[in-house]
Amino acid sequence: MGSEVDKRVLDPEHDAAALKALTHPLRIRLLGLLRQDGPATASELAVRTGEPSASTSYHLRVLAKYAFVAEAEHRDRRERRWRAVHLVTSWNNKAMDATPESRAFVSFARRRQIEHLETSLVRHEADVAAGRLGQEWLEPSGITDRMLRLTPESLAELWQVLDRKVEELTTRDAVDPRAVQVILLSAGVPLAPYTPPPGEDAAVPADTS
């Protein structure tokens, strides 16, 4: 993987068509499957998504047009295999606030990430129940929704520390046969202080009992 994660960095000024291409739910799903499980054919992806192979083939070609996927090594000459070109798609949030289209893409992408978390949780629970994952995975796995009070600088530093630690651990475990795929979805979503609407009493009501 190298010293840095292979990223496709989107720029709204130059990637308007690519942004639009990625706002199709099936294309996002196909790209995610290729990144998660490796190269596949349109027919294999059709089985996994429940879509016609003609549809998966078309949407793979669209992803290839904008360099999200490319042809992979073929097992035979009968059907084209596809691979993801990058491990992640990244963007600058400030830059993405430039146009309504790019803001819409960020909103779309974030909601697809939440859906990915839900499907991954269902798969994780099924893997544990069926014995496909050992008991040693139960304790370290989980989801947290901690509420922190941070400055913008501290939140940026937290992302940097997380990125460095992820890179360190994945490099260390790359050749360990016990390692499995772990879905890590992280969110740092600041919320403005609550402001009561006009007419609402912000004070705690007195106890009249």
- The pLDDT tens digits of the residues spanning 163-180 come to 999 999 999 999 999 999
What confidence score (pLDDT) does residue 5 get?
66
Assess contact for 120 and 180: CB atoms under 8 A. no
What confidence score (pLDDT) does residue 2 get?
36
Q: Which residues pair with 81 in a beta bridge?
A: 41
How many domains are there within the chain? 1
Handedness of CA 148, 153, 154, 160 (dihedral sign): positive
- Better-scored residue on pLDDT, 104 or 4: 104
Helix (H) or strand (E) segment spanning residue 27: helix 25-37
Is 90 exceeded by the pLDDT of residue 28? yes
The SS3 assignment for 9 reads: strand
Confidence of residue 6 (pLDDT cuts 50, 70, 90): confident
Is 80 exceeded by the pLDDT of residue 156? yes
CA R_g for the chain: 21
**Pairing mode of beta strands 88-91, 69-71:** unpaired
pLDDT in tens, 113-147: 999 899 999 999 999 999 999 999 999 999 999 99
Buried b (16+ CB within 10 A) or exposed e, 92-102: eeeebeeeeeb
In a domain, 16, yes or no: yes
Which range of residues forms the domain containing residue 71? Answer: 7-133
The helix, strand and coil proportions of the chain, stated in percent and rounded to the nearest 5, come to 50, 10, 45
Is 50 exceeded by the pLDDT of residue 10? yes
In a domain, 38, yes or no: yes
What confidence score (pLDDT) does residue 78 get?
74
In a domain, 149, yes or no: no
Amino acid letter for position 67: A
- Separation CA 98–CA 12 (nearest Å): 8
In a domain, 127, yes or no: yes
In a domain, 55, yes or no: yes
What confidence score (pLDDT) does residue 52 get?
97
Q: What is the DSSP letter of 139?
A: T
Any idea what the CATH number is for the domain that residue 64 is in?
1.10.10.10
- Separation CA 26–CA 57 (nearest Å): 11
- Better-scored residue on pLDDT, 194 or 47: 47
What confidence score (pLDDT) does residue 1 get?
30
Is 70 exceeded by the pLDDT of residue 205? no
What confidence score (pLDDT) does residue 115 get?
92
Is 50 exceeded by the pLDDT of residue 187? yes
Q: Is 146 exposed, middle or buried (0-12, 13-18, 19+ CB in 10 A)?
A: exposed
In a domain, 28, yes or no: yes
In a domain, 96, yes or no: yes
What confidence score (pLDDT) does residue 4 get?
56
In a domain, 125, yes or no: yes
pLDDT in tens, 32-91: 999 989 999 999 999 999 999 999 999 999 999 999 999 998 766 678 899 999 988 999
Assess contact for 159 and 188: CB atoms under 8 A. yes
